[in-house]
Amino acid sequence: MRSVKLLTVGVGALQSSLEYSGEVRARVESRLGFRVAGKIVQRQAELGQRVRAGQVLAQLDPKDYQLAADAARAQLASATTQRDLAAADFKRYQALKDQNFISGAELERRDATLKAAQATLDQARAQLSSQGNQAAYTTLVADAPGVVTGIEAEPGQVVSAGTPVVRIAQDGARDVVFVVPEDKVAQIAQGSEVAVRGWSGGAMLSGRVREVAASADPATRTYQVKVALEGAQVPPLGATVYATPKALSHEGIAAIKLPTSALRQEGQATAVWVYDPATSTVKSQVVRIATADGNEAVVASGLTPGMQVVATGVHVLSPGQKVTVYQQKTGAAPVPKAQTATDSVAITPEPPVAAASSAK
């Protein structure tokens, strides 16, 4: 008859909660690039550098844009001259019309010529302004104060308009970013509370869910969650933190818990051995496991408080088998004195050996 260890099923409070690893990021992170194409001749920004608004980050070769601006300036001068000439002609013909030396149609032609020259002048002025902006766009400056978190282009590289060159995390609010699986994302609502602790220690911070991704990541099939941190002691940018959503916490919930050593697989189901004290036998009982709480399994159904189940050695039992309850010894039994060799070993005399006689 086998001896088994028993435990009585009871209800206890859950201790564990779901915790996710996250990263502290800037709420606004900009990828800055030139608004015109060209060859990078200088890059002043360095990785990790703190920059202020208006600080120069990189420069393109401006020669072509300067030449285009000079050409636009010359066109503006030419258009100004043509407008001044058309204005002088219109003034002269206006005086002739007042003396009835010319017809009204001739004066109207001079007026149309003046308006066309004025329009050409306005166009040339706008073209010069545009070319001046193009030349200014060859210098990349920071839009806001922050920290350089990425360098994506080097001097000598030819880039097109809009190609990211420098990535800047702007100063201001910080977010904790982590991902959750598909079966948990529905429980996290915008505005719900999240506890945040630093990987390297420090005080526990409080935050609230600011944004939950509407679609899953195509590679990991997880959903990104952004938590706005509250308080002055915010971890540094890029720090690793642990986020515990209150909506996913199970602390304090009453549940039946069993050690994993009491569980066994019975086909496709999970079962335990239930002890019957009336007959001193065990029977199989199918249970449903909801989740884990540390090193213990949380039983959703199949057991009621007060039942006795086998805690260890479940793989050597069979249904209806009689067992005895293991009783742990409270003290060590006295060790008897060793017996002498002659007392402990029984000596059996050897049978006589018959002498062999040889027939002559």
In angstroms, the CA 330 to CA 290 distance is 37
Q: Measured between alpha carbons, how far is residue 61 from residues 4, 46, 64, 133, 167 in Å?
A: 84, 20, 8, 15, 21
Instruction: Return phi, psi of residue 115, to 5°.
Output: -65, -40
What pLDDT, in 10s, does the model give residues 56-108?
999 999 999 999 999 999 999 999 999 999 999 999 988 888 888 888 898 89
pLDDT of 151 > 50? The answer is: yes
Are 21 and 242 a contacting pair, CB within 8 Å?
yes
Question: In terms of pLDDT, which residue wins out, 313 or 35?
Answer: 35
pLDDT of 235 > 90? The answer is: no
- Give the residue from 134, 158, 182 where a domain finishes: 134
Question: What number is the average pLDDT over the span 276-292?
Answer: 89
Both 150 and 216 in a single domain?
no
**Complete DSSP assignment for 249-314:** B-TT-EEEEEEGGG-EEETTEEEEEEEETTTTEEEEEEEEEEEEETTEEEEEES--TT-EEE-S-G
pLDDT of 17 > 90? The answer is: no
Both 93 and 206 in a single domain?
no
Q: What is the CA radius of gyration of the chain?
A: 45
Both 75 and 114 in a single domain?
yes
Q: Which residues sit opposite 32 in a β-bridge?
A: 166
Both 44 and 147 in a single domain?
yes
Pairing verdict, β 6-8 and 38-43: unpaired
Predicted TM-score (pTM) of this structure: 0.59
Mean pLDDT of the chain: 85
CATH number at 103 reads 1.10.287.470
What pLDDT does 253 receive? 76
What pLDDT does 331 receive? 52
In angstroms, the CA 275 to CA 219 distance is 48
pLDDT of 113 > 80? The answer is: yes
What pLDDT does 232 receive? 66
Pairing verdict, β 281-293 and 269-276: antiparallel
Both 198 and 268 in a single domain?
no
pLDDT of 38 > 80? The answer is: yes
Q: List the domain range (segments joined by +) for residue 244.
A: 16-25+172-251
In a domain, 352, yes or no: no
pLDDT of 358 > 70? The answer is: no
- Give the residue from 251, 275, 307 where a domain finishes: 251
**pLDDT class for 334, splitting at 50, 70, 90?**
low
In a domain, 353, yes or no: no
pLDDT of 320 > 60? The answer is: yes
If one counts the domains in the chain, the total is 4
pLDDT of 360 > 60? The answer is: no
pLDDT of 336 > 50? The answer is: no
Both 152 and 212 in a single domain?
no
**pLDDT class for 353, splitting at 50, 70, 90?**
very low
Are 309 and 303 a contacting pair, CB within 8 Å?
yes
